[in-house]
Structure 1
Amino acid sequence: MKFVMPFTGSRGDVQPGLVLASELSARGHEVTFGAPPNLVAFAEAATAGRTSVSVVPFGPDTRALLESDLVRTRIKSKNLRTRWAASAELANFGWDDMAESVLSMGAHADMAIAGTLGQELVFNYAESQSIPFAALHYCPIRSNRSMSVVPSRTMPGVVNRATWRILESMRWSSMKKRENAQRRALGLENASRPLPERIASYGGIEIQAYDSAFFPGLRQEWADRRPFVGFLEPDGGESSGSTGVLGSGSIPGSPLRSWIESGTAPVYFGFGSMPVKDPTGLVSMIEDVCARGGYRAVVSSGWSTLDERIDADSSVAVVGSVDHGALFPLCRAAVHHGGAGTTAASVRAGLPTMVCWFSADQPFWGAALERTGAGCSAKFVELDRDILAAGIETLMRPDTASRARQLAAAMTSPADTRRAAVRLIEGAVHQNS
C-alpha cells in the first residue's frame, strides 16, 4: 500500500507522524511524508533506514512562523478583533502552497493521513480521490461532554458539548472560503458543514494519539468513533531524530552524563519550539530558584539561542536539543511547555511535571497533570521566581512523585500504540478496497 502523509507544525506535531510512517514502512508499505522545510533533516534522521519512506518539504518554515510577529504578538493581542483576525490568518497561512503540494505528493496513494494541523486540505484531497482518510489528534479537539473547553474549569456536560460545537462552527467560518476554493479546484462541490461532520459522513478515522488516562470518561464517550491508541513515540533505543547531546550525552563518560552522575538527579527545564523572548533571563531565574531550593538543573535551549555550558562546578547545565527518552530517566522532575510529545515523555519516565504553557493544547496537558495529581501548571507569561519555586516544591512532594509513577504505569506502551494505529490504518484501506 502507498500512503501520503502531509504534516505541518512544530517538531511535536510532526514526530508522531514519523513514528507511524516508520511503522508502516516496517510493515512493507510505501510512505511519502511531507515535513516543514525546517524539519526535513529531522524527519530524514527519524526515518533513517526506512527506505520506503520518502521525505519531501511541505508547507511553510514553521520555526520562522513561530518567531514571526503574527505568532509572537498579534495572536496574543488583548484586542479580541485583532486576535481573531490573527487566528484566521494563522489557520490559512501557507494554505495555497500546501494544497498544491498535496496534489503532487498524493499521486496514486491508497490513503491520506494528516496531523492535527492541516486536516481540512488533506481531507478534501482524500475525498476528491475517493481514498480513505485518517487524522492524528494530539489532545481532545472535538465536541464532547467529558472535557471543558476551558482546561482549568469543570463544567456541566451539556455546557461542554455546546461550547465545543461553537468552537467547531467558528473554525468552519474562518476556513470556509479557503476550503471551498480548494474543493472547487479538485472538482468537488462546496462544503456546507464543519469538518468533523464531513469526516464522520465520509467514514474517516480520527485517531486519538494520546492516552485516555489523562482525560477520564472520554474513551467511553467516543468509543469506536474516535479510537484511542496512546502516544505515538519512538520506542526505547530508537532514534528520535535528535541531533542534540543525548543519545551521545547518554553514553557513560560523555560530559553531560558525567555531570549528571556527579551529584543529585537534576530537574529538566525546556520549552522546545516555543518562542521565549528572554532566554538568558529565563536561565537566570532557573539558576536563582534552584540555588534557593538546593536543586540541580539541566536546561535545554530548544529553539531559543543560548550558549551551551556543562561546568563541573555549576549546579545548572545548559545544553542544546535533547533526546527526551535518554535524558528524562536520569532526572527527578521536569518543567516544560506542555507539548503532547514532551508531556508523554516526561510522564512515561515517571517524572512529576510542571507545565508552563504558552497556547494551543498545552494548557490541556497542564490541567490534566493537575487533575491526576502528577504535576502542576502555570501560564508561561506569568512565570516568576515565586511561581516557579512553588511549582518545583509541588513536584518534589512524595505524593506528586507517587501519582506520576502511577500515571506512567497506566500509559499504553509505545509498541502497543504503534500496532493499534497501524491496525486502524490498514483496516481502513482494506475496507475501502
Structure 2
Amino acid sequence: MRVLLSTYGSRGDVEPLVGLAVRLREAGAEVRVCAPPDEDFARRLGDVGVPVVGVSESARVWTKAAPPAEALPRRAAEVIAGQFEAVASAAEGCDVLVATGMMPAAAGALSVAELLGIPSVSVTFQQLTLPAPHRRPLAYPGRPFPPDVTDNRVLWDLDASNIDALFGEALNTNRVAAGLPRVDGVRDYVVGVRPWLATDPVLDPWQETPGLDVVQTGAWVLPDERPLPAELVAFLDAGEPPVHVGFGSMPMHASTDVAQVAVEAVRAQGRRIVLGRGWADLSLIGGGDDHIAVGEVNHQALFRRVAAVVHHGGAGTTTTATQVGVPQVVVPQLADQPYWAGRVADLGIGSAHDGPTPTVGSLSSALATALAPETRARAAAVAATIRTDGAALAARLLLDAAEGGAGAGSS
C-alpha cells in the first residue's frame, strides 16, 4: 500500500503528517509527503525516515515577507500550479492521497488524485473552514464580510463566493489544461461530503451539521522522544519552572517589542523565561540568568517542565499544551487562532488575551490567571481526557478505505 500525504502551509500543517506517516508505516504502508521545501520540515520528516517532495517555494520565506492581501490570488495560483506539477509526479503508483493545508493547495492535490483516479481524503486541522450554520466563517484577508450581515447562512454563501474569486480561476486553468472539468465551487469541492477533522473532540467539539458527514479522528500527535538541548536542560534544572513564550510560525514583525514585553510580563509574575525564537526570530535584549532563547525543540518535553505557555494559538501548539496539562495564555494573531484562544478560556485551562498585541500589563494579568493553582489543576484534569490515538485511528481508517476500494473521503 502506497500513501501520499500532501500539504502546503506552516509547521502546524506539516507536524500532524509526521504522526500519521509513522502510524501508516507501522501498519505496513509506504509513505511519502509533499510539503513546502523548508529545511526544518525536511529535517523533521527525515528524523522519522519519511521521504519529502518539495512543493512550490519556502513557506517560511512567504510568511515572513507578509505580502499584501491583493497578492493572495497570485500566490494561490503558484501553489496550485506547484501541486499539479509535484503532486502529480509523487502520486504515481499511490493507492490513496491525503490532502490538507491551505485551501488552494488542497484543491490542487485533490484534482491530481481525481486526474489519476486515486481515492482521496480531505483533512482539516481546525473546523472553521467546514460550513456550519451555527457559526460564522473566517474572513479572508482583504475580503471582510459586510458588517450589517449577521445571518450565518448568508455569510457562508459569501465565503464560497470569496473563495471562488480568490482561487477559482487558477484552479480551473490547471484543471482544464490537465483534461479535467471545471469546478463550480472550490470550497465545496475541497470539503466534499465526508471531510476528516483531525482535532480532539474535547478541545474542538464538532456539532453535527446536515450535509456533512465529518470524521473526527482526534489530533495526529506523535510522541516526541527527542532530547532537549543540554543548555536548556541545565537552565530548567537551575530553578523553579519558567514560563515558555513562543509564537511559532507567526512573523510578529514587531518581534523585538513583543519579546521585551513578554520578558517584562513574565518577570512581573516572578518567573524565569524560555523564549522560543520561531519564524519571527525573537531575541532577548540585555543579559541576565533568568532567561534563555531556544530554537526548534521538543515541545512535548519542554512544556512538561514549564509553569505556563504563552503562544499564538496555533492548533498544534494548543493541542500539545492541552495534552501535557500545562496552563496556557493564548495571544491570537489571525485566522483560527482566536477560536483556539476561546476554547482554552472556555475549558478553564488558561486565558485568552484580548487582541494580538500584548502590553506588559495585559500579558501579566493573563499570566496571573494561567499561573493560578486552580488553572493548573483544571489543565491537568482536561489533559486526562485528551485522546492520544488520533494518528493511529486515522491510519487504520485510511488503509481500510483504500483496501476496500472505496473513496477514502471527498473524492
Aligned equivalents of 1:89, 1:379: Cα separation in 2: 33
Identity across aligned pairs (percent)? 26
Do the aligned partners of 2:2 and 2:96 also contact (CA within 8 Å) in 1? yes
Do the aligned partners of 1:310 and 1:317 also contact (CA within 8 Å) in 2? no
CA 1:401 to 1:162, structure 2 compared with 1: closer, same or farther past 3 Å? farther
Aligned residues: 393
1:184 is aligned to 2:176: yes
The aligned counterpart of 1:37 is 37
Matched residue SS, 2:111? helix
1:223-242 paired onto structure 2 within 5 Å: 225-237=213-225, 239=226
CA 1:277 to 1:356, structure 2 compared with 1: closer, same or farther past 3 Å? same
Matched to 2:401, the amino acid is: A
Which whole-Å deviations, capped at 9, do the CAs of 1:90-147 have from their partners, x for residues lacking one? 4334332332112211112211111232110011111112221112211111111444
Which whole-Å deviations, capped at 9, do the CAs of 1:224-278 have from their partners, x for residues lacking one? 81111111112152x5xxxxxxx233xxxx3322221222111110011211223
Tell me the TM-score normalised to structure 2 length: 0.87
1:207 is aligned to 2:201: no
Matched residue SS, 1:256? helix
The aligned counterpart of 1:259 is 235
Aligned equivalents of 1:307, 1:234: Cα separation in 2: 29
Matched residue SS, 2:20? helix
Larger deviation, residues 287-296 vs 135-144: 287-296
Aligned equivalents of 1:100, 1:207: Cα separation in 2: 25
Do the aligned partners of 1:310 and 1:318 also contact (CA within 8 Å) in 2? no
Larger deviation, residues 332-341 vs 53-62: 53-62
Aligned equivalents of 1:208, 1:180: Cα separation in 2: 26
Aligned equivalents of 1:108, 1:173: Cα separation in 2: 34
TM-superposed CA distance for 1:186, in Å, is 2.2
The aligned counterpart of 2:108 is 121
1:164 is aligned to 2:137: no
Do the aligned partners of 1:309 and 1:317 also contact (CA within 8 Å) in 2? no
Matched to 2:380, the amino acid is: R
1:281 is aligned to 2:257: yes
1:248 is aligned to 2:228: yes
1:65 is aligned to 2:62: yes
TM-superposed CA distance for 1:198, in Å, is 6.6
1:144 is aligned to 2:143: no
Matched to 1:18, the amino acid is: V
Aligned equivalents of 1:395, 1:300: Cα separation in 2: 19
Aligned equivalents of 2:211, 2:381: Cα separation in 1: 24
Aligned equivalents of 2:138, 2:312: Cα separation in 1: 18
Matched to 1:6, the amino acid is: S
Aligned equivalents of 1:113, 1:58: Cα separation in 2: 15
The aligned counterpart of 2:143 is none
Aligned equivalents of 2:184, 2:134: Cα separation in 1: 27
Matched to 1:357, the amino acid is: P
Tell me the TM-score normalised to structure 1 length: 0.83
CA 1:310 to 1:21, structure 2 compared with 1: closer, same or farther past 3 Å? farther
The aligned counterpart of 2:377 is 402
Aligned equivalents of 2:269, 2:75: Cα separation in 1: 41
Do the aligned partners of 1:309 and 1:319 also contact (CA within 8 Å) in 2? no
Aligned equivalents of 2:151, 2:384: Cα separation in 1: 32
Matched residue SS, 1:108? coil
CA 1:99 to 1:22, structure 2 compared with 1: closer, same or farther past 3 Å? same
Matched to 1:168, the amino acid is: A
CA RMSD of aligned residues (A): 2.6
Matched residue SS, 1:34? strand
Q: Which runs of 5+ in 2 are unaligned?
A: 140-149, 407-411
TM-superposed CA distance for 1:309, in Å, is 10
Matched to 1:208, the amino acid is: L
The aligned counterpart of 2:357 is 382
Q: Quick one: which of 125, 130, 135 aligns to 2:117?
A: 130
The aligned counterpart of 1:79 is none
Do the aligned partners of 1:24 and 1:31 also contact (CA within 8 Å) in 2? yes
Query: Comparing both chains, which one has the higher relative contact order based on Cα–Cα distances under 8 Å and sequence gaps of 6 or more?
Result: 2
1:341-380 paired onto structure 2 within 5 Å: 341-378=316-353
Aligned equivalents of 2:295, 2:405: Cα separation in 1: 45
Higher normalized helix content (fraction of residues): 1
Matched residue SS, 1:135? strand
Larger deviation, residues 221-230 vs 283-292: 221-230
CA 1:343 to 1:222, structure 2 compared with 1: closer, same or farther past 3 Å? farther
Aligned equivalents of 2:111, 2:241: Cα separation in 1: 49
Matched residue SS, 2:382? helix
Matched residue SS, 1:123? helix
CA 1:180 to 1:48, structure 2 compared with 1: closer, same or farther past 3 Å? same
